[in-house]
Amino acid sequence: MSTKRNLLAVSLAAVLLASVAAPVIAGTSGTDGLSVNVEQADGVTVSVTENGTAVENATVNVTALDNGSYAGEGTYTTDANGTVGLPAPSQNVSVEVAAEHGNLTATTTATLTVSDSGEEDQKEDDEEGPFGQEVSGFVSEVIEDDSVDNPGQAISQWVTENNPGHADDETDEQEEEEDDEQEDDEEGERGPPEHANNDKKDDEKEEQDENEQKEEEEQDDENEQKEEEEQDDENEQKEEEDDEDDHPGKGNGKKKGHGN
């Protein structure tokens, strides 16, 4: 189990290095070095340490002060990283956070504020829960599951697949593909662009000119051949006439004699 936890610590550290650390908005030291801190970013995270070391299975009680209302009120147990994830507040509220571990206690107060991203983003956070809290829950499951051979890889893969930012990227890509398909459909309805029609007309005219030129050449060849044939006929007729003039025909009459 200790080897698995060491691997989890390395993997979780790599994930956290890629994120911006949430500011500590409240913290205090209790008896014998037990401390509790409250951090707020997208959600709210409570961390419990003893002399700088994360405390697992510490009990954390969250209570709204000054008659405030906070959905994160209740009792929690820290995970292997000594943390508890709380939902972001729907309104500004002051809370008391008390941690207990064995005979040790620590208490602090913190003012939780609504994110500048607006009520709509806050509503989505309330429905889906802070991503950090989801990561913590998954890490706890991996710790308890002895069948996981490579917990670091499992955590990394899970974070990649479930990261809300990754989902937003996929949504953007899908919207771009839909926009491209819509543009293709609109282009198909409009038909080819005007310059394409002009090019087609030019090609047709060029082909028509070539056909007309070819027909003219064929007609010229036929006329030339006809003229040659007519000239040959005239030459033959002339030769026949010349031959008749050179060899006139002889008559068959008898020579007239004198009688006795």
Task: State residue 121's pLDDT score.
Answer: 54
Q: What is the pTM of this model?
A: 0.39
Residue found under tokens 């200790």: 2
Task: State residue 165's pLDDT score.
Answer: 64
Residues 6 or more apart in contact with residue 45 via CB below 8 angstroms? 22, 38, 39, 83, 84, 85, 86, 130, 132, 133
Asked if residue 260 has pLDDT above 50, the reply is no
- For the chain, what is the mean pLDDT? 75
Task: State residue 85's pLDDT score.
Answer: 92
**12-47 residue pLDDT tens:** 544 444 433 445 565 565 556 899 999 988 789 999
Asked if residue 158 has pLDDT above 60, the reply is yes
**60-105 residue pLDDT tens:** 999 999 998 888 899 999 999 999 999 888 899 999 999 999 999 9
Task: State residue 186's pLDDT score.
Answer: 66
Task: Give the Cβ contact number of residue 201 at 10 Å.
Answer: 10
**196-212 residue pLDDT tens:** 566 777 788 888 888 88
Q: Are 112 and 44 in contact (CB under 8 A)?
A: yes
Asked if residue 259 has pLDDT above 70, the reply is no
Task: State residue 47's pLDDT score.
Answer: 94
Tokens of 164: 């809300």
How far CA 246 is from CA of 174, 241, 243, in Å, comes to: 103, 9, 5
Task: Give the Cβ contact number of residue 35 at 10 Å.
Answer: 20
Query: Which H, E and C letters describe the chain, residue by residue?
Result: CHHHHHHHHHHHHHHHHCCCCCCEEEEEECHHHEEEEEEECCCEEEEEEECCEECCCCEEEEEECCCCCCCCCEEEECCCCCEEEECCCCCCEEEEEEEEECCEEEEEEEEECCCCCCHHHHHHHHHHCCHHHHHHHHHHHHHHCCCCCCHHHHHHHHHHHHCHHHHHHHHHHHHHHHHHHHHHHHHHHHCCCHHHHHHHHHHHHHHHHHHHHHHHHHHHHHHHHHHHHHHHHHHHHHHHHHHHHHCCCCCCCCCCCCCC
Tokens of 36: 């509790």
